[in-house]
Amino acid sequence: MYTSPPDEPNCVKSKSKKKNKKTTEVAEEEENAENDAEVVATGTCLNEPNGSESKLKDKKKRLLKKAEKADKQGVCYLSRIPPHMDHVKLRHILSQFGDIQRIFLAPEDSSAPVSTKRSRSARDQAYSEGWVEFKNKSIAKRVANMLNGEQIGGKKRSSFYYDLWNIKYLSKFKWDDLTEELALKKAIREQKIALELSAAKRERDLYLSKVDKSRALNAIEERLKKKQKIQQDSGQVAKVIRHFPQTKPITVNTKESKPGLSDDVLDAVFGGS
């Protein structure tokens, strides 16, 4: 009785299984490579953080850099700005002593009284006070100590040649504090304007209502005058008074109306004869 050798088909099966494993492994590697290529093309990776997280980190870094720069910067305050001086001329003068970042000049109030002819001629470009931000706080402090109370100088034909510097270094003061203060002043000013406008609106409405009432009364008076004039032109017409007949009220005699006691009842009570 013939039987097939048992080892031959098992070997063939094992070889085929190994080939299938290799082919599946190659296919998986190719799929992983394709996925990696897609990830690289889109700019994201599974191990790396998301795009929003990277943006937040970049924003934090920028804010930290700005905070570091703000700590190094210094602000000087000018309590008086000479006439005919603007931010361009001020930057040109103060930039000789150090690098300047920002300048803010507060315009003069238009309701303020004008004292001199020179200030009146420069009314449109006059400034009341100003702030100057230096790149380095040590330079700002040195400039304030050096220039405060000194003559501005420059060209002799300039209008502010003989004016004096009124400058002071503001310690622990940052430009953000100035912007917050300006925003607060602006909000207060807008609130005042809103209150004034509402009060003016109420007064206007009251005035218009009174005007309407006066117009109505004048129209009534005019109509009455026209009627009187028509009556005078057509002749005096007697006023008609209508009389309606009325019944007279019934007068009741009080004595008769009262019930009286008869003599027989009185005799029975008092025992009369």
Instruction: Read off the pLDDT of each residue in 224-245 and give the average, rounded to a whole number.
Output: 77
Question: Which pLDDT score, from 0 to 100, does residue 32 have?
Answer: 58
Q: Count Cα neighbours of 254 within 13 Å in the Cβ-side half-sphere.
A: 0
Higher per-residue pLDDT: 8 or 130: 130
As a whole number of angstroms, the distance between CA 268 and CA 121 comes to 126
Query: In this predicted structure, what is the pLDDT of residue 23?
Result: 52
Give the 3-state secondary structure of residue 112: coil
Give pLDDT tens digits for 177-200. 888 877 888 889 899 999 999 999
Q: CA separation (Å) from 181 to 135, 177, 211?
A: 21, 6, 45
- Block residue for tokens 């209502």: 209
pLDDT of residue 31: 59
pLDDT digits (tens, 9 = 90+) for 112-134: 555 554 444 445 578 889 999 99
Our CA dihedral for 205, 207, 209, 210, rounded to 10 degrees, sits at 170
Greater pLDDT, 232 or 87 = 87
Lowest-pLDDT choice from 152-166, 213-227, 256-270:
256-270
Grade residue 244 by pLDDT with cuts at 50, 70 and 90: confident
Where do we find the tokens 């080939």?
A: 19
Backbone angles phi, psi at 65, to 5 degrees: -65, -40
More confident residue, 54 or 235: 54
Average per-residue pLDDT for the chain: 75
pLDDT of residue 98: 87
pLDDT tier at 272, thresholds 50, 70, 90: low
Which amino acid makes up residue 140? A
Residue 74 has pLDDT above 60, yes or no: yes
For residue 112, the model assigns a pLDDT of 54
Sheet holding 74-78, edge to edge: 100-107, 127-134, 74-78, 167-170
pLDDT in tens, 12-68: 444 444 445 555 554 555 555 555 544 444 444 444 446 677 777 777 777 667 666
Q: What does the CA dihedral 110, 111, 117, 118 come to, rounded to 10 degrees? A: -40
**What pLDDT score was predicted for residue 210?**
93
* The pLDDT value given to residue 76: 93
Instruction: Give the highest mean pLDDT range of 5-9, 42-46, 151-155, 265-269.
Output: 151-155
Q: Give the pLDDT confidence of 120-176 residue by residue, as tens digits.
A: 444 557 888 999 999 888 899 999 999 998 888 888 888 888 889 999 999 888 888
